């Protein structure tokens, strides 16, 4: 076989060598491959008419690639609504640019969108929350706040829109990191939630179309289709525990290609055996769904003495 040619169509020049499979891809075959992979992840039964999907858009490569892929896969399907939601956490010098990219994307793809802010939802933006936490000597990672409040907002918008699914742009590496983080912390409950839906009508079901695609392939795809996405990292990301775990997994992956795949596939086998705790209740403060009588978001804010 010609090593300079695509292993699939055997005609076009190769632009990518996939280490774990040993296959060469040309541009066209790679783009088709990614769409096929995402279609398989989403599942045939979910690519059907009358669907409403809320898509969380940060403006970064993952969320925009996901939105592009969903738009492509649902193009031939009648009566589907794909709605972008940008969550403005209020991170100075960072988030506005991401939202600008997301808006440009939605306009180009003719996609309905909404913008929701931390400020209007919990009364404070993330920078303010981080500052208050510092002043009160509460040692909490900004990403913890950010993730909890963002999830709350996206769930709320999804329920308001009667959405069938909330689509999240996590790629294979993100999932592998999350799995490792929860293993390392010994947080089996979180591990179980990661792999399964809460199974409650108070929480919208989630789909992760890119969950089986490694980060570098998402990046390559974004560049091949000429996506204009937000490239800067969040100023808070480097101080996260996730960043440390990410380094470990990345190093392993470099030396042992396929590590992320095996972390995730092992995890999938394992979660079949972990029961999800299903004690759903309504938060006594905000009236929204939670796993105890005070939801995580309200609990974090209460801990800082700023619950509104
Ligand atoms: Fe939020 Fe952390 Fe992501 Fe920044 S890196 S947007 S603080 S979760
Ligand atoms: Zn080809
Ligand atoms: Zn609450």
**For 203-234, how does the pLDDT look when each residue is reduced to its tens digit (9 = 90+)?**
899 999 999 999 999 999 999 999 999 999 99
- Who surrounds ion ligand 2 at CB < 5 A? 6, 8-9, 12, 26, 29
CATH fold label, 43-274? Rossmann fold (3.40.50)
Summarize the confidence of residues 44-54 as an average pLDDT. Answer: 95
Residue 64 contacts residue 227 (beta carbons within 8 Å):
yes
pLDDT band at 188 (very low <50, low <70, confident <90, very high): confident
* Lowest mean pLDDT, pick from 34-48, 140-154, 180-194: 180-194
Token reading at 269: 């086998």
* Ligand 1 mutation pick, 58, 92, 133, 236, max ligand atoms within 8 A of CB: 236
Q: What is the dihedral of CA 211, 212, 215, 216, to 10 degrees?
A: -160
| pLDDT tens profile 138-173 | 888 898 899 999 999 999 999 999 999 999 999 999
Task: Specify the ligand 1 atom closest to the Cα of 237.
Answer: 5
Going from the Cα of 114 to the center of ligand 1, the distance in angstroms, rounded, reads: 20
Tell me the pLDDT of the chain averaged across its residues: 92
pLDDT at 58: 97
Task: Specify the ligand 1 atom closest to the Cα of 233.
Answer: 5
Task: Specify the ligand 1 atom closest to the Cα of 143.
Answer: 2
DSSP state of 15: -
| pLDDT tens profile 9-31 | 999 999 999 988 899 999 999 99
pLDDT at 195: 74
pLDDT at 273: 87
pLDDT at 306: 87
> What CA–CA distance (Å, rounded) separates 51 from 305?
41
> What CA–CA distance (Å, rounded) separates 1 from 7?
8
pLDDT at 199: 73
Q: Which residues line ligand 1 (CB under 6 A)?
A: 89, 142-143, 146-147, 234, 236-237, 240
Going from the Cα of 36 to the center of ligand 2, the distance in angstroms, rounded, reads: 14
Closest ligand by atom to 140 CA: 1
DSSP state of 207: E
Q: Is the pLDDT of residue 308 over 70?
A: no
Nearest by Cα to 192 from 297, 291, 56, 298: 291
Residue 51 contacts residue 165 (beta carbons within 8 Å):
yes
User: What is the b/e burial string over 127-141, where b = at least 16 CB atoms within 10 angstroms of the residue's CB?
Assistant: bebbeebeeeeeeee
Place of tokens 């040692």: 139
Going from the Cα of 182 to the center of ligand 3, the distance in angstroms, rounded, reads: 24
pLDDT at 50: 96
Cβ neighbours around 184 below 10 Å, total? 12
Summarize the confidence of residues 105-121 as an average pLDDT. Answer: 97
pLDDT at 274: 81
| pLDDT tens profile 231-272 | 999 999 876 788 889 999 999 998 998 899 999 999 989 888
Residue 281 contacts residue 200 (beta carbons within 8 Å):
no
Nearest by Cα to 108 from 92, 144, 84, 135: 84
Domain chopping of the chain, boundaries:
1-31, 43-274
Could you tell me which residues are beta bridge partners of residue 289?
Answer: 282
pLDDT at 156: 93
> What CA–CA distance (Å, rounded) separates 285 from 302?
10
Residue 178 contacts residue 192 (beta carbons within 8 Å):
no
Angle at 224 between CA 223 and CA 226, to 5 degrees: 60
* Ligand 1 mutation pick, 146, 154, 178, max ligand atoms within 8 A of CB: 146
| pLDDT tens profile 63-81 | 999 999 999 999 999 999 9
pLDDT at 291: 74
Going from the Cα of 297 to the center of ligand 3, the distance in angstroms, rounded, reads: 6
pLDDT at 146: 94
pLDDT at 120: 94
> What CA–CA distance (Å, rounded) separates 204 from 172?
22
User: Alpha helix locations (H) across 75-169?
Assistant: 95-108, 118-122, 126-135, 142-160
- Contacts for 240-248: CB closer than 8 Å, 24+ residues apart: 240/141, 240/142, 240/143, 241/141, 241/181, 242/143, 242/177, 242/178, 242/181, 245/177, 245/180, 245/181, 245/184, 246/173, 246/177, 248/180
Q: Which residues contact 137 (CB under 8 A, 6 or more apart)?
A: none
């Amino acid at each position: 076989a010609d090593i300079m040619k695509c292993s699939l169509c055997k005609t076009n020049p190769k632009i990518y060598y996939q280490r774990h499979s040993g296959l060469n891809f040309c541009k066209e075959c790679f783009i088709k491959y990614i769409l096929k992979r995402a279609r398989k992840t989403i599942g045939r039964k979910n690519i059907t008419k009358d669907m409403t999907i809320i898509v969380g858009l940060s403006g970064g490569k993952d969320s925009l690639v996901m939105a592009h892929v969903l738009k492509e896969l649902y193009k031939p399907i009648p009566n589907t609504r794909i709605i972008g939601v940008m969550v403005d956490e209020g991170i100075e010098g960072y988030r506005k640019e991401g939202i600008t990219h997301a808006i440009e994307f939605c306009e180009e793809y003719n996609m309905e969108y909404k913008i929701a802010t931390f400020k209007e939802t919990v009364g404070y933006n993330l920078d303010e929350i981080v500052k208050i936490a510092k002043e009160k000597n509460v040692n909490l990672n900004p990403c913890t706040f950010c993730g909890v409040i963002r999830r709350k907002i996206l769930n709320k918008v999804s329920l308001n829109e009667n959405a069938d699914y909330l689509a999240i742009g996590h790629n294979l590496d993100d999932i592998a990191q999350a799995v490792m983080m929860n293993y390392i912390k010994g947080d089996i409950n979180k591990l179980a939630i990661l792999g399964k839906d809460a199974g409650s009508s108070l929480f919208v079901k989630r789909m992760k179309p890119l969950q089986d695609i490694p980060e570098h392939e998402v990046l390559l795809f974004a560049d091949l289709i000429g996506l204009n996405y937000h490239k800067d990292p969040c100023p808070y990301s480097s101080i996260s525990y996730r960043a440390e775990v990410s380094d470990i997994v990345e190093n392993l992956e470099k030396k042992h290609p396929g590590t992320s795949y095996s972390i995730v596939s092992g995890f999938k086998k394992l979660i079949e055996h972990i029961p999800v705790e299903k004690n759903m209740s309504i938060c006594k403060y905000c009236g929204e769904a939670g796993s105890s009588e005070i939801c995580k978001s309200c609990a974090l804010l209460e801990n800082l003495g700023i619950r509104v």
